[in-house]
Amino acid sequence: MKAYKNMSKEELQQLQKELSEAYENAKGKGLKLDMSRGKPSAEQLDLSKEMLDVVSSESNCKTEDGVECRNYGQMEGIYEARKLMADMMDTKPENVIVCGNASLNVMFDTISRSMTHGVCGSTPWCKLDKVKFLCPVPGYDRHFAITEYFGIEMINIPMSEDGPDMDLVEKYVSEDAAVKGIWCVPKYSNPQGVCYSDETVKRMAALKPAAEDFRIYWDNAYAVHHLYEEPERQVQLLDIISQCEKAGNPDMVLEFASTSKVSFPGGGISAVAASAKNLEYIKKSMTIQTIGYDKINQLRHVRFFKDINGIKAHMMKHAASIRPKFEAVLATLEKELGGLEIATWIKPKGGYFISFDAMEGCAKEIVAKCKEAGVVMTGAGSSYPYKKDPKDSNIRIAPTFPTPDELAAATEIFVLCVKLVSVEKLLEAK
């Protein structure tokens, strides 16, 4: 296919006419399709439905060491659940507290606690003149929403295929005591599917912060979310907790994870992993917040998955469900946009998203046109702090929730909108 930038004004005008007609036809179909969030499909949710039967009114609700899951107690979570989540995060059970259904809630609480009470004895952030966070971009919109909610200044850190720009991270962290944290999705990142290289993890663990209360917020949300069964296509991530210990920074990291896209997004379990010092500090406020999290749900997860091998086998069922959707979207992008030189995209090996970069200045208009034609996408700019993408180019594609037929229709409209907006952008410059 001929690159659009090499077309004459007349060729572009003719193409614009054809694409506009196709777009009007698409709008006339009255479609209502949603590719806005990384939600599991009904087929994926059904994979875990037997979990609802493993604990019933006839069940013995005691753990292996006799803890009664129906009653108060076990603030850190039952041991079996701590072991299960520790294995998922490649750490030790003693490093883990099992919490409620959402790791996002644990992250919010952690930032909130830091604002009001500081970090392990440091000055509460609310009493400081300035608090800053490093934000690898494009990144997870809900991370940025948390720090924005608390009025924390966010600093963009560009991502590469190996993770954040570590030269820039090291400079900010070592030179500015107002920098208190960095958001990280280190494996199959949201939205790019980037996995931090061993060197990146080691450099992260060896940071020398100017602030004693600096923490790495390591959101290992997609630790077991591979798209492919072959071991050579599954990325392995170094354990940040042990790396921090080796580097002499045992307290510098807080790791988060959940089973939200493993079991049920609305009924999973989450966990925070950290050093003994950090966990003791977390528990001080947790004991005031709650008498304990849902141990029956923890027991349900343990009895359903049994161990980490059960989780891995289960995740291959998820992969079998969503892999064809990813491959279908990628095939359509390549077929319809390959060679046109109007967009680039990343082919992830895991996670939940496809990161798409349109021509500069086009993302918002593409998403708006998609919506007008009945396809809801994640808002353009959402993958950047303050929803401000400096290039207005990044779009997050979430293929998992729609049915295959809905996904095909949505992707067809998406590429049509990309072509139309790109042609109009090029014509402006002629």
Helical packing angle, 404-429 and 363-372, nearest 10°: 130
**Cα pseudo-dihedral 240, 241, 244, 248, rounded to 10:** -170
Cα 40 to its chain centre, rounded Å, is: 13
What is d(CA 1, CA 419) in angstroms, rounded to the nearest whole number? 13
Arithmetic mean of pLDDT, 159-166: 98
**Which tens digits make up the pLDDT trace of 80-134?**
999 999 999 999 999 999 999 999 999 999 999 999 999 999 999 999 999 999 9
What is d(CA 364, CA 342) in angstroms, rounded to the nearest whole number? 15
Domains of the chain, start order: 4-44+313-429 (3.90.1150.10), 61-306 (3.40.640.10)
CA distances from 238 to 90, 202, 298 (A): 8, 8, 26
What is d(CA 225, CA 223) in angstroms, rounded to the nearest whole number? 6
pLDDT at 429: 87
Say if residue 164's pLDDT is above 80: yes
Q: Which residue(s) pair with 257 in the sheet?
A: 271
For residue 138, whether the previous peptide bond is cis, meaning omega lies within 30 degrees of 0, is: yes
The letter for the amino acid at 167 is D
**Which tens digits make up the pLDDT trace of 184-236?**
999 999 999 999 999 999 999 999 999 999 999 999 999 999 999 999 999 99
Cα-based angle 269, 113, 135 (whole degrees, multiple of 5)? 80
What is d(CA 309, CA 78) in angstroms, rounded to the nearest whole number? 19
pLDDT at 70: 97
Say if residue 297's pLDDT is above 90: yes
**Which tens digits make up the pLDDT trace of 43-66?**
999 999 999 999 999 999 999 999
Q: Which long-range contacts (CB under 8 A, 24 or more apart) does 112-120 make?
A: 112/150, 113/282, 113/285, 114/180, 114/213, 115/150, 117/285, 118/213, 119/180, 119/213, 119/215, 119/281, 120/213, 120/251, 120/277, 120/278, 120/281
Closest CA to 356 of 346, 365, 364: 346
Say if residue 37's pLDDT is above 90: no
Annotate 142-163 with b (16+ C-beta within 10 A) or e (fewer).
ebbebbeebebebbbbebeebb
- Determine contact, residues 101/197, Cβ cutoff 8 Å: no
| Phi-psi group of 300: left, alpha or beta (phi > 0 → left; psi -120 to 50 → alpha; rest → beta) | alpha
In angstroms, what is the C-alpha Rg of the chain?
23
pLDDT at 390: 97
In the numeric block, which tokens belong to residue 271? 């966990």
Say if residue 430's pLDDT is above 80: no
- How is the beta sheet containing 394-397 ordered, strand by strand? 343-345, 354-358, 394-397
pLDDT at 347: 97
What is d(CA 102, CA 124) in angstroms, rounded to the nearest whole number? 25
pLDDT at 385: 98
Judge residue 177's burial from the number of C-beta atoms within 10 Å of its C-beta, 0-12 exposed, 13-18 middle, 19 or more buried.
middle
Arithmetic mean of pLDDT, 371-377: 96
